[in-house]
Amino acid sequence: MAPNRHYFRLAVTIVILLILSGCASLNYYGQSIQGQFEVINKRQNINDILKESSISDVLRNKLNTVLVLRNFSVQHLGLPKNNSYLSYADLKRDYVIWNIFANEEFSLKPLNWCYLIVGCLSYRGYFSKSAAQQHATELKKQGYDIYLGGVSAYSTLGWFDDPVLNTMLRWSDIQLATVMFHELAHQQLYIKNDTEFNESYADAVAHIGVTKWLEKKSNQNLLKEYQQSQFQEKEFVSLIMHYKSKLNDLYQSEKSDDEKRKRKQELIEKMSDDYLIISKSWSKNTYKTWFSKDINNAKLAAIVTYRQYVSSFLDIYEKLQKDLTKFYSFTRSLSTCKVMKRKEILKNREIEFEC
């Protein structure tokens, strides 16, 4: 899509937002629009950049990998064929946005924020770290558990041609592939007001995609390394889900707030102890940093939101004989179900259902 058409679309979006948003939302939408403008303004066509002799070998190799991955996503994963990730933008910072998760002291259900176009989400994103910190501080004063984390990429769901960002190139090629396939999966299927479905689905597609990509590369060492990391992630998520259940039982009990507060801390400490046990046999202590900092409901909710149904999607993919066409058809059919029915189907790993 031509740049002027992008600007026209964004201008129309601005007008709609200004008309429909309440005064309290204007500042937030203002920073979102400004942040998106920055991303669009800094985009450069990757093929044009690769013609420049002045770019570093590191950047050249990364951008060539992006083009390989983009082609792979279309040819082998059936992800959208458009102009996303055919351009590059250097934002001169480590993260493109910062997401806030907020939970009540005795609840693992995150606070939802609702937006035009995308519906309600379980987090609130800011292009400005200081603005995110300010809002997080305000929520903390109101008694919420808060988790604030940087994000390397996001999807505009096809509204714009998303560029690959410098924030995505800081990691390994496997992590780059994971992020790209995840965000492209959002463009392929997105259900309003169901963050857990959207993020789990995109994570599952990313896992499937990276596995296929590494198998095509015929690099057994890389494939083995990735499989080990996925095994460790599965153990980590299982641990989180186990203690999520225990905390939910606690929060719904008749215990006093003081008793809940004490028991909550005990369960979090026990979870950390259990992690030390399961990670002893790992070659890499992947989640050491996560456990080394304060853990609260919001931090747990961030994991649950992105990982709740990943194993369900992957099991269903296996049941469908690893046929991506069937898998995509299945997920599109799920989108017609009501939320609770959708959750039930995923929980039971059903491949035949009626909504």
10 Å Cβ neighbour count for 277? 9
Kindly give the parts of the chain with pLDDT less than 70: 1-24
Residues 156 and 36 sit within 8 Å (Cβ to Cβ): yes
Count Cβ atoms below 10 Å from residue 117 Cβ, excluding itself.
11
Instruction: Please compute, for residue 349, the number of CA atoms within 13 A of its CA located in the half-sphere on the CB side.
Output: 11
Helices (H) and strands (E) in the chain, counts: 14, 8
CA-nearest of 183, 174, 182, 175 to 204 is: 182
Please choose, from the candidates 173, 164, 4, 6, the residue with its C-alpha nearest in 3D space to the C-alpha of residue 87. 164
pTM of the model: 0.91
Per-residue model confidence as pLDDT tens digits over 53-112 = 999 999 999 999 999 999 999 999 999 999 999 999 999 999 999 999 999 999 999 999
CB contact at 8 A, 225 and 302: no
Specify the pLDDT at position 94: 95
Q: How far apart are CA 16 and CA 88, in angstroms?
A: 28
Residue in 180, 181, 162 with CA at minimum distance from that of residue 1:
162
pLDDT recorded at residue 23: 43
SS3 349: coil
Domain ranges within the chain, ordered by starting residue:
3-193, 221-348
Q: How many other CB atoms are found less than 10 A from the CB of residue 116?
A: 12
- 134-145 residues labelled b (16+ CB within 10 A) or e (exposed): ebbeebeeeebb
Q: What is the pLDDT of residue 10?
A: 54
Which candidate, 309, 303, 306, places its Cα nearest to that of 349?
Answer: 309
State the pLDDT at residue 16: 46
Spatial separation of the C-alpha atoms in residues 112 and 102, rounded to whole Å? 8
Tokens coding 100: 């806030």
- Both tokens assigned to 344: 């039930």
pLDDT for position 220: 84
